[in-house]
Amino acid sequence: MPDQISVLFVCLGNICRSTMAEGVFQSMAKKQPYKDLVAKVDSCGTGGYHIGEEPDDRTMSTLEGHGITDYAHAARKFNASDLDKFDYIFAMDRANLADLQRAEQRRPGSKATVMLFGEYSGTGKAEVISDPYYGGRQGFETAYEQATRFSKNFLREVFPDVEPGA
């Protein structure tokens, strides 16, 4: 079993999907049995469109509607140094993943495992978290459901000897 891990979630603008995933994952990581196993959780975007902004109101209201009321974040852009600061870097979709992989190629030997978060879908097929920004409320609920499911599956795989709810 690994020591403490660090996780970074990445989407395009860092106000919808990656913040949803960060909020969900952070909520799980603050509780037992994961409390002492996750050192750092963050999110960012591959684009700098929203630097310094808070998450989208619909992201926040979705998290709050599911009992996550202590999440705060200011959007930031991905930096190549993140590849050495985090153990796992999860892309929300394949375009984000391609951007991260290009950065990874320019930084050989970096620490992070870079992959699509949806590899932990639990369905045997990788899923993407579609950008809900231009859609309605349901897109945010879908992103929440996926982030919750992927987070649980990831934590179960990385910490197989830890019993959730213990």
Active site members: 11, 17, 131
Alpha-carbon span 4 to 27, nearest angstrom: 16
Distance, in Å, from the CA atom of 162 to the CA atom of 166, rounded to the nearest integer, reads 8
Q: Closest by alpha carbon to 8, among 96, 138, 106, 133?
A: 96
132 prior amide bond cis, ω within 30: no
